[in-house]
Structure 1
Amino acid sequence: MRTMNTTYFLNLVSGNVFGSKKTPAVPEKYYLGLSSAAPALDGSGVVEPGDGTGYARVELTSLSAPVNGVVTNNAAIDFAESTSEWGTMTHFVVYDALTGGNLLMYGELSASRRVEAATIMTIKLGSLNLSVVNPTA
């Protein structure tokens, strides 16, 4: 799964790395979510499953050390079991908060997935590849 970075996140990282804008600071925690629509570079366009569906973002706690600028998940990432239908999930999203917050990264899932009630959505070990460089092709 290829990652895109929002303009907000690119500016945040650049400002912190080069010391030209250190507020807000780089987040200490990151949260993975799902979207049924394609996000945009400005952070808009995310459509997460609604309240009362059993959906919640998952804190990213098992990430690898970077290799050539890419960090991957060292363990499978399981979302909570759905209590009702979530719709067809097409994208993953990475936020700086469990709810609300700023969209930092996003990408298309390797395969769209219709999530019905009583389903556990899983991102397989090594499938999530995160980088602070947007692909050029």
Structure 2
Amino acid sequence: MQSKPQVLVWLTCDGVHIDPATGKHTILGIFSNICGRQFPFVHPYMVWFLTVSDVQPGKHKVRISMGVDPAQMQPLIEREFESKSPLQRINLINEVRNLTFPAPGQYDLLIEIDDEVLLSTNIQVTSQ
């Protein structure tokens, strides 16, 4: 029986530095909410850092969608990645540029691998 992929880490941050000598990841500026002065608000740059395991060997597709209504999620990131073994921990660095928030509120995020939901979470957007 094959195991379902597991989310080990989900972070929203300012950036990720990968040490060229060791391959270690340094996470920069973790945040859990966004503040805007006026709306619609455009957030210039953020990273959605995702670590998964228990992914069967081969090529896979990750999709990250966002919306204010879970029934109307819009895909923002769709990309392929490869797993060598279910024991491998796979770090996926997803850069998000110029993300528009029409109004303050709670925005739902949906993370899927191969069309299977792994995580449903949200990010709070407030006005200053």
Q: Which has the higher strand share?
A: 2
Normalised by the length of structure 2, the TM-score is 0.37
Q: Which has the higher helix share?
A: 1
Structure of greater Rg: 2
